[in-house]
Amino acid sequence: MSVATGIERHVQHPDRLFIGGQWVAPLSTALIDVVDSATEEVFLRVAEAGEADLDRAVAAARSAFDDGPWPSLTHTERAAFLRRLAAELATRGEGIKELWPRESGALASVAPHMAPMAAGVFEYYAGLADSYPFEEPVTPTVGSGFGLLVREPVGVVGAIIPWNVPLQLAVQKVAPALLAGCTVVLKAAPEAPGSAYVLAECAEAAGLPPGVFNILTADRAVSERLVTDPRVDKIAFTGSTAAGRRIASLCGQRIARYTLELGGKSAAVVLDDADLTKAATALAGAECFLAGQICASLTRIVVPRGVHDEFVETLAQVFSQVVVGDPYDPATQMGPLAMARQRDRVEGYIQAGVDSGAKLITGGGRPGHLERGYYIEPTVFGDVDNSSTIAQEEIFGPVLSVISAADEADAIRIANDTIYGLNAAVFTEDVDRARAVAGKLRSGTVGHNAMRADTGIAFGGFKQSGIGREGGLEGLLPYLETKTILLDDAPARYREGAAR
């Protein structure tokens, strides 16, 4: 049941699960309280799925793949469903505005744009239906005859999303999976289930066949059962590196396919010709819309030793002026963290930074003018040792660490001295220099003079930041299996094409 006025318009079936094309009652009465990050009050209650509910969802997805029409449709036919789903999703901006800031602390000014952006992901993958070579003729390298290289759906996909940007992370998995011909069980985070409900309502309105798309909200035990279920062919996960290690080990036991988009401790390399004020403004601003709760955040800032103090002071001045408050207030520039345990985590890392001898330049506490909500001040550390906890572990909050480097080569060494490799940036006025340094950074994305990521091309990490890519054409490939077919002669449609 919903407990906040107006939420009912945006989450119509909070006490249900979407399984087999229907909103069904869970097999238990357990509910999940969803807490508003700014008020610390419960604003929504949703059904909590148990293991028996998961079994139902996986069975529905398995039946829809093995016995239903979905995998047998042409890609163009599936694309028509994706476009209908996109049209439904594009109208849900107000719903996401009511849900995302409450669940995760995102700014309400940004939230309405998320639904149209997510709709664009479905449109993009629908557009690949007629352009991507799902089947192409090849010449056998052994013997004679006719060959085909065919790319078929991997099967049933278990998609597991976190609480920080749930809608975007869901559609980056669901859209390519559906185009490929897969069926999906989407497991939403209990802290932020609203977007999954919105997406299920859109799928229902778009008329997806029963069992093609299923959603449920559950905690870790049910997630692990999804990962280990032999009926699930592939896991697509976004979350912490620790959880990713566990998923990889479980999938490895049964040789299940998986893609993992994991944590980051991304470096911004500020070169000696960079405009320090512009760099500080860009880095501070990138932390604001979700209070640093982004895996791609540039939280390690590597600067020339000679300008360290100047840069730290400039960064602290810019970051300390950020207006922290109610995410629905137009004057607010940064909202709260998503939940109490996340604030506790960030505060623990801040204390670890102080204990390590790093210099706390600004922030480090809770804003004094806010009595409720999971707020933390924008925080800057200087004189940070790259081997310290705050330089090596993902904090997931608005905490920036500035590290000195002797020269460009040392800066690159420091940037790469981490188990992560998700994102990076180079700040320099010389584009050729930026390109050269980018080529030496072990990172899935490297931006120039800004925190940049482009899921329309590809997004993912090196090292322990993940396996595989999401977004763009690269994001389709993990949902396909490659099959080689060797025939005595060409099928009729290829012979007819040659004749024409």
**Secondary structure (H, E, C), 294-351:** CCCCEEEEEEEHHHHHHHHHHHHHHHHCCCECCCCCCCCCECCCCCHHHHHHHHHHHH
- For residue 116, what are its two tokens? 């149209």
Kindly list the distances between the CA atom of residue 89 and the CA atoms of 45, 174, 396, in Å, as whole numbers in the listed order.
22, 13, 28
Residue linked to tokens 């985070």: 189
**What are residue 484's DSSP bridge partners?**
149
The C-alpha atoms of residue 409 and residue 488 are separated, in whole angstroms, by: 58
Within 8 A by CB and 6+ apart from 211, the residues are 19, 20, 21, 60, 61, 63, 64, 65, 68, 183
- Name the DSSP class of 238: E
Which member of 88, 191, 261, 287 is catalytic? 261
Is 261 catalytic? The answer is: yes
Report whether 32 contacts 190 (CB < 8 A). Answer: yes
Is 295 catalytic? The answer is: yes
List the alpha helices (DSSP H) in 181-304: 194-206, 220-228, 241-254, 276-286
DSSP assignments along 37-85, one per residue: TTT--EEEEEEPP-HHHHHHHHHHHHHHHHTSSGGGS-HHHHHHHHHHH
Which member of 182, 202, 288, 295 is catalytic? 295
- Residue 157 parent element (H or E): strand 156-160
The C-alpha atoms of residue 370 and residue 438 are separated, in whole angstroms, by: 41
List the alpha helices (DSSP H) in 373-430: 389-392, 408-416
SS3 content of the chain, % helix, strand, coil (to 5): 40, 20, 40
Phi, psi of 276 (to 5 degrees): -65, -40
Kindly list the distances between the CA atom of residue 6 and the CA atoms of 3, 12, 99, 139, 430, in Å, as whole numbers in the listed order.
9, 10, 11, 61, 51
Active site residues: 261, 295
